[in-house]
Amino acid sequence: MLNRKRRAVRRSQKKAPPMTEFEQPKKRKPFTVFLVEDDQLVRASLVEALAEFKINVRDYMTAMEFYRDFREPVPGVLILDLRLPGMSGIELQDKLIEDGFELPIVMISGHADVPMAVRAMKNGAFDFLCKPVKVEALIGAIARAYAYFYDVDAEIFEEELEETEDSINRLTGRERQVLDHVVDGLSSREIAQELGVSTKTVEAHRARINDKMRADNVSHLIRMCFAYNEEHSN
């Protein structure tokens, strides 16, 4: 209880956070975004948006194009669409793991592919984003990958973890059950079957969970939970 009060006081007193190392291009260490997206228009718009933030980007249409090009490890992050012609995002992830390439991976998935994205995160993916990808969400994911890769700006992420813990502690027992199933990649219909309730009831629980967790979407919610679970498993 005392720790909660201290956190609440600290949050109420804290000023706007200082700019991170990533947000200051002149101080930013070498870092490349490898973008694999088969939709040419989407790929071009994302490359253009990232260029405005002075982010170095290499873009590819297929997973195989990237795999053939990425022979020497380079500091960066791989932004990877799950569904690609030929080699899928999951298959590319498996190949990189097999080859021993330790490159943070951010998966891009449609809503129907959330279970696959969760599987990718359990297999070591750093994050995932739901389509349509918002530029601010993409920049945030890249910034987190940069901080993770270079082990910088730890205080910001410690505060995020504290806020996630406080939010989880506000959930009811039933909401925790629903959240656990969401993090496992189950749909509302599947969760309803598991818990023996209606889909409508599950949707109501999910709405309250999103509100209490202050989650923007399902990918944001799952990322918070993965970070929280990883912290508490150490």
Which tokens hold the place of 68? Answer: 């053939």
Give me the residues paired with residue 77 across strands.
33
**Mean pLDDT (whole number) for 36-57:** 95
Residues 137-178: tens digit of each pLDDT: 999 999 999 998 898 877 767 778 888 899 999 999 999 999
CATH, residue 99: 3.40.50.2300
CB 63 within 8 A of CB 84: yes
Residues 17-35: tens digit of each pLDDT: 678 899 999 999 999 999 9
Which tokens hold the place of 115? Answer: 């279970």
Q: Model pTM greater than 0.85?
A: no
**Number of independent structural domains in the chain:** 2
Average pLDDT of the chain to the nearest whole number? 87
138 and 39 part of one domain? yes
| pLDDT reading at 61 higher than 90 | yes
> Which range marks the domain in which residue 55 is found?
32-150
Give me the residues paired with residue 32 across strands.
56, 76
| pLDDT reading at 212 higher than 90 | yes
Has residue 44 been placed in a domain? yes
- Residue 8's CB is within 10 A of a number of other CB atoms, namely 11
- Report which of residues 113 and 13 the model is more confident about: 113
Q: Cβ neighbours of residue 217 under 8 Å, at least 6 residues apart?
A: 130
36 and 115 part of one domain? yes
CATH, residue 189: 1.10.10.10
